């Protein structure tokens, strides 16, 4: 795993070195630069920071080249089928000087050009500078699901890319500024969907896409997409047979992703996904699998239903013969949050970034690679919003007059902070505002925390004018159109896989693990496994039932002889954090300071009285506004970090955050 960056016709050696240095946390084991100044004055430069995972020798140094030094690569990721690809390339006469997967990509590109990405199974983001023709070509690619990040900026003949935005901000003339439309998206979803970023002029290469930059022209092309069969077109197969094949394909994926020359471990929560990974890992090795479970002291858990019970993974680890380290955390969140904001690059108002960072920081003391359950919910239908679609269909059969009476009552329910019914009340309020809407509008609404009216009351006239009527859910609606013939459950899974998972879950997993120099792998996102599930498992075996549906049904059936009933029946618990507690205690002073009326007026984005109303209502228990307040707080920290000063402000953040 690595941090990559590069330049075409902008900056110089010092710029390239700064870009590489600011990503040192992504690769503490080695660093390298390669540059080429052409007779016409064109400049190409590649930089790399290396976290050595496969072939720890100096032979893995990057940027790396082919035999005659005409093809150079900077690469971030792991190709799990690299050994098979290497054998084929050897048979065609290619010579290797290392045992890395990086060198396999170099020679595969020599052999197949841009089509090489279709042969890769893994997670990757890379750039190849091809000097073999008269006009140098920069070829870039991002993996199928977007596990690894790839940011870029393009202006005429000038082009720059990096694993993290903070590296791009080292380029002369690259100023950090807010994109108003992206801000509108952030206030809608808690994060900004790909390919946009919060930074004006900086974009992300979409998952499953490659790009070619040649003679000042950038061409972006999709090389892969997750597809689904038309509704009701899947030929039924015996459930037992299907479950067995899902289990076997999943086992193969887990074992392939256990290849490593450094210590490896796994996240272990009380949930089905991480438990399934650990169970397969324990079957594949004679050594006890290292597992890591994060938990919070009892005071944080009051009224929270999304914090895992640490006793469940502890019992599972004993049953499987695994080592289990329970990481009990009571972080100084007021100190930690600004530093993690620097690592995230973009404002991301999901408090799971804190728990993700803390577990990676502790695990790094023993392991460099961790396997994660990210992707299981998107493949097999594990989120409550998937079931909400069927609940809403039933609700719409209630007479409309009765619904008009009921919905305002539910909307006015207090937040019920600190009680066991808090989660149920939150669900009821979400259903009240969305259940009567058409299916697509309902799904989009269930993915948001502030509706259009609330944002209108929040924005200043100047911000409203800059946004200019932009639809923040346009990306979502376009994605529905890509799979409009599929069953609606599969449409929801497509959106979650392409947008929610890539832009949020995979992004914070990458940034928070790399902040501790840890590589996170995601066995559920094996391309062949995902394609099999999409085309062979009918929706009724992903989410079984409608009133009290069984989520991820076929995965539970696949693992029923592997995992104990306690895990199979465990309700979903998010990789979350005690936001309510932090806002009421640890972060109360920070909220009052950063979201003060004078500070908000100076920013000119939000009406101070509107923001204060959210804070006051939340503190009085009138409404649960914890997530919008977290949004405002995260945004202000981001602006202070990236807009008010140089991104270099937190140059020492990797060391300080891990202290």
Quick: pLDDT tens for 197-228: 999 999 999 999 999 999 999 999 999 999 99
In degrees and rounded to multiples of 5, residue 204 shows phi and psi of -110, 140
Question: Considering the chain, what is the average pLDDT of its residues?
Answer: 92
pLDDT at 547 over 60: yes
**377, containing H or E segment:** helix 376-380
Which element (helix H / strand E) includes 379?
helix 376-380
pLDDT of residue 458: 97
Contact of 515 with 344, CB cutoff 8 Å: no
Largest interatomic CA distance in the chain:
77
Q: At 510, which helix (H) or strand (E)?
A: helix 506-514
CA distances to 104, 276, 280, 282, 500 from 251, rounded to whole Å, are 25, 9, 6, 11, 26
Is pLDDT at 125 greater than 90 in this prediction?
yes
What pLDDT is stored for residue 401 in this prediction? 87
Q: What residues contact residue 128 under an 8 Å CB cut-off, 6+ apart? A: 71, 72, 73, 105, 106, 109, 138, 139, 140
Tokens of 254: 């887990």
Answer yes or no: pTM beyond 0.85.
yes
Rounded CA separation 327/363 (Å): 9
Mean pLDDT on 609-635: 94
Q: Look up residue 156 and give its DSSP letter.
A: T
Buried b (16+ CB within 10 A) or exposed e, 274-313: bbbbbbbbbeeeeeebbbbbbbbeeebbebbbbbbebebb
Residues 6+ apart with CB under 8 A from 618: 415, 583, 624, 625, 626, 629
Distant-in-sequence, close-in-space partners of 507: CB < 8 Å, separation ≥ 6:
149, 191, 344, 346, 348
Contact yes or no for 377/273 (Cβ under 8 A): yes
652 pLDDT band (50/70/90 cuts)? very low
Instruction: Report the pLDDT value the prediction gives residue 304, as an integer from 0 to 100.
Output: 57
Q: Give Cα separations from 597 to 462, 603, 613 (angstroms).
A: 17, 10, 11
**pLDDT score at 412:** 79
Q: Mean of the pLDDT values across residues 440-468?
A: 94
Task: Give the helix, strand, coil percentages of the chain, each rounded to 5.
Answer: 45, 15, 35
Radius of gyration of the chain measured on its C-alpha atoms: 24
Which carries the bigger pLDDT value, residue 650 or residue 43?
A: 43
What pLDDT, on the 0 to 100 scale, is given for residue 55?
85
362-384, pLDDT tens digit by residue? 999 999 999 999 999 999 999 98
- Which residues make beta-bridge pairs with 266? 291, 371
**Over 90: is that where the pLDDT of 653 sits?**
no
pLDDT band at residue 483 under the 50/70/90 scheme: very high
> What value does the mean pLDDT take over residues 308-315?
84
- Which secondary-structure segment (H or E) carries 123? strand 122-130
* Confidence class for position 426, pLDDT limits 50, 70, 90: confident
Indicate whether 330 pLDDT > 90. Answer: no
Reply yes or no on whether the pLDDT at 646 is more than 70.
no
Q: pLDDT band at residue 354, thresholds of 50, 70 and 90?
A: very high
Is the pLDDT reported for residue 648 higher than 60?
Answer: no
Among the ranges given (243-247, 569-573, 605-609, 625-629), the one the predictor scored with the smallest mean pLDDT: 569-573
pLDDT tier for residue 575 given thresholds of 50, 70 and 90: low
- CA nearest neighbour of 178 among 201, 144, 147, 212: 201
Closest CA to 129 of 48, 25, 224: 48
Q: Could you tell me if 450 and 628 are in contact, meaning their C-beta atoms sit under 8 angstroms apart?
A: yes
CB atoms within 10 A of CB 413: 16
Q: What's the pLDDT band for 510 if we cut at 50, 70, 90? A: very high
Give the model's pLDDT for residue 658: 34
Burial class (CB in 10 A: 0-12, 13-18, 19+), 494: buried
pLDDT: which is higher, 349 or 41: 349
Cα separation, 216 vs 218, in Å, equals 7
- Beta strands per DSSP E along 490-595: 519-521
What average pLDDT score do residues 127-138 get? 93
**pLDDT score of 523:** 98
Residues 633 and 628: their CA atoms lie apart, in Å, by 9
How does strand 137-142 pair with strand 209-214?
Answer: antiparallel
Question: What integer is the mean pLDDT of 540-544?
Answer: 96
Q: Are 554 and 489 in contact (CB under 8 A)?
A: no
Integer Cα distance of 535 and 528 in angstroms: 11
Three-state helix/strand/coil letters over 568-627? HCCCCCCCCCCHHHHHHCCCHHHHHHHCCHHHHHHHCCECHHHHHHHHHHHHHCCCCCHH
Residue 369 Cα to chain centre, angstroms:
17
The confidence band for 579, taking pLDDT boundaries of 50, 70 and 90, is confident
Q: Token pair 């799979």 is at which residue?
A: 483
Q: Which residues are catalytic?
A: 2
**CA separation for the pair 149, 14 (Å, rounded):** 24
In the chain, what are the domains? 2-181+193-222 (3.60.20.10), 242-577 (3.40.50.620)
| pLDDT above 70 (res 302) | no
Query: Shortest CA distance to 284 belongs to which of 206, 186, 371, 188?
Result: 371
- pLDDT-based confidence at residue 238 (cuts at 50, 70, 90): very high
Q: Measured between alpha carbons, how far is 49 from 27 in angstroms, rounded to an integer?
A: 4
Of the listed ranges 354-358, 646-650, 652-656, the least confidently predicted one is 652-656
Over residues 279-300, the mean pLDDT reads 91
Residue 183 is inside which H or E element, if any? helix 180-189
């Amino acid at each position: 795993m690595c941090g990559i960056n590069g330049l075409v016709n902008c900056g110089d050696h010092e710029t390239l070195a700064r870009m590489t240095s600011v990503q040192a946390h992504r690769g503490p084991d080695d660093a390298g630069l390669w540059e080429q100044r052409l007779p016409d004055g064109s400049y190409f430069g590649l930089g790399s920071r290396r976290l050595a995972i496969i072939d720890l020798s100096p032979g893995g140094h990057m940027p790396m080249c082919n035999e005659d030094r005409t093809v150079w690569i900077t690469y971030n990721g792991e190709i799990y089928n690299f050994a098979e690809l290497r054998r084929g390339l050897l048979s065609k006469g290619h010579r290797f000087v290392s045992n890395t997967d990086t060198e396999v990509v170099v020679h595969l590109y020599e052999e197949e050009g841009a089509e090489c990405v279709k042969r890769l199974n893994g997670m990757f983001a890379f750039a190849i500078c091809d000097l073999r023709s008269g006009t140098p070509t920069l070829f870039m690619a991002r993996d199928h699901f977007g596990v690894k990040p790839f940011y870029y900026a393009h202006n005429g003949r000038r082009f720059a890319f990096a694993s993290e935005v903070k590296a791009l901000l080292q380029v002369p003339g690259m100023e950090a500024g807010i994109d108003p439309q992206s801000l509108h998206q952030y206030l809608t979803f808690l994060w900004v969907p790909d390919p946009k970023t919060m930074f004006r002029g900086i974009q992300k290469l979409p998952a499953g896409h490659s790009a070619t930059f040649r003679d000042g022209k950038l061409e972006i092309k999709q090389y892969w997409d997750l597809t689904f069969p038309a509704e009701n077109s899947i030929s039924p197969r015996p459930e037992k047979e299907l479950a067995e094949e899902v289990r076997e394909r999943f086992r193969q994926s887990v074992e392939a992703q256990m290849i490593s020359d450094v210590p490896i471990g796994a996240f272990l929560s009380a949930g089905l996904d991480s438990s399934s990974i650990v169970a397969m890992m324990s079957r594949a090795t004679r050594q006890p699998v290292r597992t890591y479970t994060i938990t919070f002291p009892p005071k944080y858990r009051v009224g929270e239903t999304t914090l895992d019970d640490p006793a469940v993974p502890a019992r599972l680890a004993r049953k499987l013969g695994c080592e289990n380290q329970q990481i009990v955390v009571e972080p100084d969140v007021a100190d930690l949050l600004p530093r993690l904001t620097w690592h995230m690059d973009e404002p991301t108002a999901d408090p799971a970034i804190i728990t993700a960072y803390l577990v990676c920081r502790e695990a790094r003391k023993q392991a460099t690679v961790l396997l994660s359950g990210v992707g299981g919910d998107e493949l097999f239908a594990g989120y409550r919003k998937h079931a909400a679609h069927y609940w809403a269909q039933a609700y719409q059969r209630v007479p409309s007059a009765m619904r008009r009476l009921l919905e305002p009552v539910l909307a006015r329910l207090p937040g019920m902070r600190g009680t066991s019914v808090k989660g149920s009340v939150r669900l009821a309020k979400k259903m009240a505002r969305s259940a009567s809407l058409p299916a697509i509008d309902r799904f989009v609404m269930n993915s948001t925390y502030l509706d259009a009216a609330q944002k209108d009351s929040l924005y200043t006239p100047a911000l409203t004018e800059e946004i200019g009527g932009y639809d923040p859910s346009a990306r979502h609606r376009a994605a529905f159109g890509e799979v409009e013939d599929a069953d609606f459950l599969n449409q929801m899974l497509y959106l979650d896989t392409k947008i929610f998972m890539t832009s949020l879950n995979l992004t914070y997993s990458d940034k928070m693990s790399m902040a501790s120099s840890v590589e996170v792998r995601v066995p559920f996102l094996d391309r062949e496994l995902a394609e099999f599930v999409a085309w062979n498992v009918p929706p009724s075996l992903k989410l079984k039932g409608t009133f009290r549906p069984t989520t991820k049904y076929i995965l539970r059936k696949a693992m029923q002889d592997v995992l104990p009933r306690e895990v199979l029946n465990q309700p979903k618990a998010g990789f979350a954090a005690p936001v309510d507690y932090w806002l009421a205690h640890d972060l109360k002073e920070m909220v009052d300071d950063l979201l003060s009326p004078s500070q908000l007026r100076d920013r000119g984005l939000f009406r101070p009285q509107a923001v204060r109303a959210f804070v006051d209502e939340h503190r009085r228990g009138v409404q649960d506004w914890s997530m919008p307040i977290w949004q405002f707080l995260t945004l202000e920290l981001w602006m202070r970090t990236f807009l008010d000063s140089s991104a270099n402000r937190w140059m020492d953040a990797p060391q300080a955050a891990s202290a």
